[in-house]
Structure 1
């Protein structure tokens, strides 16, 4: 598996694990929210929610008795309520927290009258019938409604007429003691008079929906609100008694204390999870990358061994030589760095060998320089000697030999200096735009006139369209001369050379091709063709160059942002392509 796939697998696993953890955290918080909302609903409306849960969670024991949720029974007690379970004849089968003034048997019509409010009952009643496991449960739940009792006393003992409210002193004390307040509303729900009403925060008018919500959800407003309608005056008596658990006048969402902490807990959990994942990610992926960076820095300093741990073993490997778990994802990268280390170590050894070869090469160059110099010195001594009387013809012969040897020495020194300048980048010829077809045609015609090449051995094939290129003309001339001489002087006399020009795809791109049908070269010779002084020299032969011509040619082409390619096989000729294109220019920047 490649590094890309391993990283993708790790990242997908990391992402999947993160999503699963977030879902687990979110599910846990959601479960907590549901539980809290259920608890709030029990507080908000136990008569509806709590009774239904009481039946749903009821457990029927083997002896036929029923076991109820202790938490719900405790909630009944906290609400100052009571509970009775009735059979089909109205007898009480089971009871919890039942006051003494509550009967233990109900006639069918009597219970309905109590429940519908047609017959007075000291408590507010809620009736629920549910079936569970084949058993019909009839639950009668009652709460002591202080506000309803108080309003009944005030309404029966008070009087409202001619926009004037009259309350007995005892009833006034009851309202003040409970910190309650009374409002009288007209037919439109506007307040016409009030008693003990706070100075602020209490509405002066109510819509039908306001009255329903206030009487139905007391915890939302922090008030237990009860009403009584006076048919004679078409007025509504509304008594509001503060709840002990919530501040009066609180109109905020009763579930806000649940959702707010839940959201904060979710955000904190996700942020903490992301921080832990970041630390884990840094240890899993970052530490191996830091190790590889340290390894590369050691390579930069010439230290080719992998950083080792306290025991002297590479940090990325176990005792058995296998990769450690955190490093397995970078197997290819570590392998590449290891290969690079080995290559650099080999290159260091190669440089040592090259330095040794260079010393030998310099010794050979020195020998080749001394050989023509010895000839020049010998002929000079011969001309200087007084005991010899040389004829004018002999003097000219000696001078020609001396001139030829000195020209060879000059060519050898110049080529050697040029190769070093090109290798070191010290030679940057100024290039200019020129017509390649015209320039190459002129150079080919000039080469045709060289008697050393013979007649009819060079053919020029220009491009079909005009080709404009950026070259240094003197350097380009030397390249053409070197390649022409290499093709015609080191091949049989019958060898033909074709020089052609091809246009490139982009403006300024072109190819110059030298193709001959000579003896060709094997691949080792092709590989070493551009090595300096590869062929060697023979100073006794006047037509042999310095041995540096192809190295100079390659350096000049690269200095002009081009590249050279050679294709050759024995007995199949040689093809040399000089290429100037976008790839060449980008590769030589």
Structure 2
């Protein structure tokens, strides 16, 4: 999987996880809000909400009795209420906290009279009929109706006349002891008279909506409000009794204590989640990127090792060398940086070696040029000196030495120029189809006649069949001379050289495929010398002996072989001799196209 796909997958996964977490948090807060709203509804209007829940959660036991939710029964107890379950004949089947003055049996029409207020009843009644598991539940819920009783007593015992409210002293004491107050309103809801009304915070007029809300939601206003309409005078008697646990005006919005904390909790949770996600994202994506940036900065300063921890182990790797989890998404990038580091390290080492070789080569070339130049200058001064009279033989000897030195310098300069031409591809010798067996046999015979090599040191082994190849004869001749001189002049005097021709793997299919081997049993070379053998800045010969070559022969040899679409391989080890293979085959030509 590519870096782009892994990043996309990781980001989509984290985004989906974030959405899920937000939904879980929102769902949890919504569940809490619903529970609190339900609890508030039970407190504010248990008669409507609580009775329905009481039936919904009721459990019918095997013996026919009914088991109710203990929490709802507790709420009935806190409201100073009571509960009765009636059958179809009005008999009480089950009861909870029923006062002694409440009947245990209701005649037909009697319960309806109590419920509709047609007949006086000391408690406020709520009636609910529901079917559950095939059984009709008739629940009769009652609450202490002290406010209604107090208002009825005041209405029946009091009198409003001449814009003045008159109450019996006993009734006044009852209203004062309950910290209640009584107001009489006209047809427009304007206050006409009042008793025990607080000096501030109580309205002097009410709309129909105000009266409905005050009587329907007592907790919202902190008091229980009951009314009695006087049809004769078209006036309204209104009694307000403060709730013991919720003073008037203390909580205008009964649900504010729910939505406020819920909103704050939601905002805090989302902000905290975003902060945690930011830290997580920074650790998961930012830290590896910072690590790679530091690595690149180190590369810029020439430090090629990956940034490591206190124990010397790279931050991105485990003890077993595998990538850590948060770095795996950048596997290709880290691998590329590692490759770049290795390449730069190798290039630095190669530059160092190249600089060293260049300095050695310049020193060798300078020495090789100065040596013949010194000879030329010396013999020229000797011939120029008037105090010496040289014989004809001596002058000819001096001239011969000067010619040799100048030819060596010419050879050195030509080799140097040839290496640059070969390196830049500026030399493309014309090749022709040639009999390789015959050509090599002629070149080997010439080499055998060279007194510098000695007698009987070269053996030629031609191929059993005719081998033809495309070569440039002068260049091929120079290649053979260089390899022969390199094998015989830089090894002990008893070293033997075998020159062998073999048909290539593609012989018979395509002309030009052949192999030439130069195998000697000399001292051999180590791997470093083999690696540097074809460097034009490397001189394996003694620069103090210019007549053994310029030190550029092997570089020229490799360049000429490659210019003729061939390749060269060297196999050698110390004290085991050297084998040099010149290979012309289809692979060599394909690699040069």
Distance 1:220 1:126 in 2: 21
Give the corresponding residue for 1:214.
214
Distance 1:339 1:65 in 2: 82
Deviation at 1:361, TM superposition (A): 4.7
Give the corresponding residue for 1:28.
28
Give the corresponding residue for 2:192.
192
The question of whether the paired residues in 2 share the 8 Å contact of 1:55 and 1:137 is answered with yes
Deviation at 1:177, TM superposition (A): 1.3
Deviation at 1:118, TM superposition (A): 0.5
Give the corresponding residue for 1:107.
107
Deviation at 1:368, TM superposition (A): 9.1
Distance 1:119 1:223 in 2: 26
Give the corresponding residue for 1:154.
154
Distance 1:175 1:123 in 2: 18
Does 2:361 correspond to 1:348?
no
Distance 1:239 1:379 in 2: 144
Pairs within 5 Å for 1:47-86: 47-86=47-86
Deviation at 1:384, TM superposition (A): 6.9
- Which range is displaced more, 340-349 or 320-329? 320-329
Q: Secondary structure at the match of 1:103?
A: coil
Q: Secondary structure at the match of 1:102?
A: coil
Deviation at 1:138, TM superposition (A): 0.2
Deviation at 1:570, TM superposition (A): 9.0
Give the corresponding residue for 1:87.
87
Give the corresponding residue for 1:178.
178
Distance 2:251 2:347 in 1: 83
The question of whether the paired residues in 2 share the 8 Å contact of 1:180 and 1:242 is answered with yes
Deviation at 1:210, TM superposition (A): 1.0
Deviation at 1:289, TM superposition (A): 3.6
Pairs within 5 Å for 1:381-420: none
Distance 2:372 2:205 in 1: 126
Distance 1:224 1:244 in 2: 10
Deviation at 1:232, TM superposition (A): 1.8
Deviation at 1:279, TM superposition (A): 3.4
Give the corresponding residue for 1:126.
126
Deviation at 1:295, TM superposition (A): 3.7
Distance 1:160 1:168 in 2: 12
Distance 2:180 2:536 in 1: 112
Give the corresponding residue for 1:461.
none
- Which range is displaced more, 137-146 or 306-315? 306-315
Q: Residues 244 and 570 (structure 1 numbering): CA distance in 2 closer, same or farther, change over 3 Å?
A: farther
Q: Secondary structure at the match of 2:179?
A: coil
Distance 1:570 1:163 in 2: 133
Please give the per-residue CA displacement for 1:408-447, whole angstroms capped at 9, x wherever unaligned: xxxx9xxxxxxxxxxxxxxxxxxxxxxxxxxxxxxxxxxx
Q: Residues 375 and 244 (structure 1 numbering): CA distance in 2 closer, same or farther, change over 3 Å?
A: same
Q: Residues 156 and 340 (structure 1 numbering): CA distance in 2 closer, same or farther, change over 3 Å?
A: same
Distance 2:21 2:295 in 1: 36
The question of whether the paired residues in 2 share the 8 Å contact of 1:202 and 1:249 is answered with no
Give the corresponding residue for 2:457.
none
Deviation at 1:276, TM superposition (A): 2.9
Deviation at 1:385, TM superposition (A): 6.3
Deviation at 1:266, TM superposition (A): 1.6
Deviation at 1:111, TM superposition (A): 0.7
Q: Secondary structure at the match of 1:316?
A: coil
Give the corresponding residue for 1:5.
5
Give the corresponding residue for 2:267.
267
- Which range is displaced more, 199-208 or 96-105? 199-208
Deviation at 1:147, TM superposition (A): 1.2
The question of whether the paired residues in 1 share the 8 Å contact of 2:221 and 2:248 is answered with yes
Please give the per-residue CA displacement for 1:246-269, whole angstroms capped at 9, x wherever unaligned: 121346210000111111112222
The question of whether the paired residues in 2 share the 8 Å contact of 1:223 and 1:243 is answered with yes
Please give the per-residue CA displacement for 1:203-259, whole angstroms capped at 9, x wherever unaligned: 111111111111111111111111111122111111111111212134621000011
Deviation at 1:318, TM superposition (A): 3.3
Pairs within 5 Å for 1:506-525: none
Deviation at 1:364, TM superposition (A): 6.6
- Which range is displaced more, 12-21 or 254-263? 12-21
Give the corresponding residue for 1:224.
224
Unmatched segments (≥5 aa) in structure 2 = 389-405, 407-412, 414-423, 430-471, 473-534, 538-562, 566-593
Give the corresponding residue for 1:427.
none
Give the corresponding residue for 1:283.
283
Deviation at 1:271, TM superposition (A): 2.5
Q: Secondary structure at the match of 1:304?
A: coil
Deviation at 1:181, TM superposition (A): 1.1
Pairs within 5 Å for 1:171-570: 171-250=171-250, 252-308=252-308, 313-363=313-363, 366=366
Please give the per-residue CA displacement for 1:323-362, whole angstroms capped at 9, x wherever unaligned: 2222211211221121122112101211112202321453
Q: Secondary structure at the match of 2:109?
A: helix
Q: Secondary structure at the match of 1:36?
A: helix
Distance 1:331 1:196 in 2: 84
- Which range is displaced more, 299-308 or 211-220? 299-308
The question of whether the paired residues in 2 share the 8 Å contact of 1:122 and 1:144 is answered with yes
Give the corresponding residue for 2:96.
96
Q: Which has the larger radius of gyration?
A: 2
Please give the per-residue CA displacement for 1:129-184, whole angstroms capped at 9, x wherever unaligned: 00011110000011112211111111111101121111112212211111111111
The question of whether the paired residues in 2 share the 8 Å contact of 1:225 and 1:240 is answered with yes
Distance 2:192 2:235 in 1: 9
The question of whether the paired residues in 2 share the 8 Å contact of 1:129 and 1:137 is answered with yes
Distance 1:267 1:153 in 2: 53
Q: Residues 190 and 365 (structure 1 numbering): CA distance in 2 closer, same or farther, change over 3 Å?
A: farther
The question of whether the paired residues in 1 share the 8 Å contact of 2:428 and 2:564 is answered with no
Please give the per-residue CA displacement for 1:14-69, whole angstroms capped at 9, x wherever unaligned: 12112111211111111111000000001111110000000011111122211110
The question of whether the paired residues in 1 share the 8 Å contact of 2:129 and 2:137 is answered with yes
Distance 2:218 2:67 in 1: 31
Distance 2:310 2:164 in 1: 98
Q: Secondary structure at the match of 1:108?
A: coil
Distance 1:35 1:305 in 2: 61
Distance 1:190 1:96 in 2: 43
Distance 1:490 1:307 in 2: 47
Distance 1:314 1:188 in 2: 87
Distance 2:244 2:219 in 1: 10
Deviation at 1:373, TM superposition (A): 7.7
Q: Secondary structure at the match of 2:127?
A: strand
TM-score by length of 2: 0.62
How many corresponding residue pairs?
415
